[in-house]
A and B are shown apart, each in its own frame.
Chain A
Amino acid sequence: GAVVSQHPSWVICKSGTSVKIECRSLDFQATTMFWYRQFPKQSLMLMATSNEGSKATYEQGVEKDKFLINHASLTLSTLTVTSAHPEDSSFYICSASGLAGGPRDNEQFFGPGTRLTVL
């Protein structure tokens, strides 16, 4: 149980184009989803926190207009990288939480990640 999928697993795009990444909780309702980016051999940097039906909360230094987050349902959140540039190339990982009650309610379940390469 508690599986999170992410699509696509990798994408290569041209500079200036927009890329949408989907994050789905397959077998539970995710009250909260998180978006991270990770550079090679570095830690996960939280970009934003999104709750179903409300605006995402962005971390300091993350451009809201560049990284558009939509959390349309309890099982789906999307991250759109608008007008992507080579410096946006990274590994983007989503996670979901929402197993309310019990010892696992703080646990985050991570998707497999999306590797974005902007040429």
Chain B
Amino acid sequence: GQQVMQIPQYQHVQEGEDFTTYCNSSTTLSNIQWYKQRPGGHPVFLIQLVKSGEVKKQKRLTFQFGEAKKNSSLHITATQTTDVGTYFCAAGGTSYGKLTFGQGTILTVHP
């Protein structure tokens, strides 16, 4: 079945530093979604990318979808303590909108 590899597993940064997490698939994806899960919470939808080479921004967050639609990245500029949590990519496009989640990147921000 569809698999999505996400790295790194953990990332510790000082507040103000940038952060990037990457997702890769061996197969072409129809779309990719990004979710954030705060400690003790549930995943919350951030964005969906559909088009090859697509770049979307949400304030300090920049999302990219690769030209071949096999990889994606989430970049956070100047991290804040409110950014802590686990960031998941999720590949969509299978039957009934089923998502395949990456392993997640746990982000810790030190003040």
A32 to B95, CA, bound (A): 11
A33, closest chain B residue (CB):
B96
B59 CB–A CB distance under 8 Å: no
Say whether, besides A110-B42, A112-B41, A43 and B104 are in contact (CB < 8 Å): yes
Question: Chain B, interface size: which category?
Answer: 20 to 34
A82 to B42, CA, bound (A): 24
Q: How far is the CB of B28 from chain A (nearest CB, A)?
A: 16
Q: How far is the CB of A19 from chain B (nearest CB, A)?
A: 19
Q: CB-defined interface of B67-109 with A at 8 Å, one 1/0 digit per residue?
A: 0000000000000000000101000100111111111101000
Say whether, besides A43-B103, A43-B104, A44-B88, A107 and B98 are in contact (CB < 8 Å): no
Closest 9 CB pairs of A and B: A110-B42, A44-B101, A43-B103, A32-B96, A43-B101, A110-B43, A97-B97, A113-B42, A43-B104
